[in-house]
Chains A and B, each alone.
Chain A
Amino acid sequence: EIVLTQSPGTLSLSPGERATLSCRASQSVRSSYLAWYQQKHGQAPRLLIYGASSRATGIPERFSGSGSGTDFTLTISRLEPEDFAVYHCQQYGSSFTFGPGTKVDIK
């Protein structure tokens, strides 16, 4: 089973700042089958990025994904108030696993 590790656990930033979230896999993720989801309190997850770097429909350009192999990054170029949430990575190249999540909260 591929284990995903996300860092940091919590990221405290101010609106307008840049957020960089990391997702590391215990083994290479096949074909960069790596997705990122945003989840706000009490809500279902929302797909942001798939295939490591493709934005899902309706996702603002300030969200971008990069990486391959075992190291992946989600970048939010300038945080908006609605971006403070928990972010989960998921690999779907070998069965399915999620990372533990990174919480982005207001500094």
Chain B
Amino acid sequence: EVQLLESGGGLVQPGGSLRLSCAASGFTFSSYAMSWVRQAPGKGLEWVSGISGSGHTTYKADSVKGRFTISRDNSENTLYLQMNSLRAEDTAVYYCAKVFDYTDSFDYWGQGTLVTVSS
């Protein structure tokens, strides 16, 4: 059974940093691209960043370029999102999501972790 379990969310001040983790199990982690998707309170979904299965290639939304870095440790089956220079508008539930083969869709999602940026 595929499982994705996010952790690392919490309250952080504007300008601060936070690192999210997503522990994956139930599939060959290194064979699949992964993404982070966020959802501000009461708002819609926003794709944040993606990474290839090998970890060699990463992609980001314009809204987080220069501030967020996605990475993965295939030996630990874990996906990360390093978030720096956090802003109030980054407040959201952050989901990690597995890319469904080569369909450019997301077939498994974690339960999400809440990041609150506030002073």
Q: Do A and B come from one complex?
A: no
Q: Which residues of A contact B (CB under 8 A)?
A: none
Q: Which residues of B contact A (CB under 8 A)?
A: none
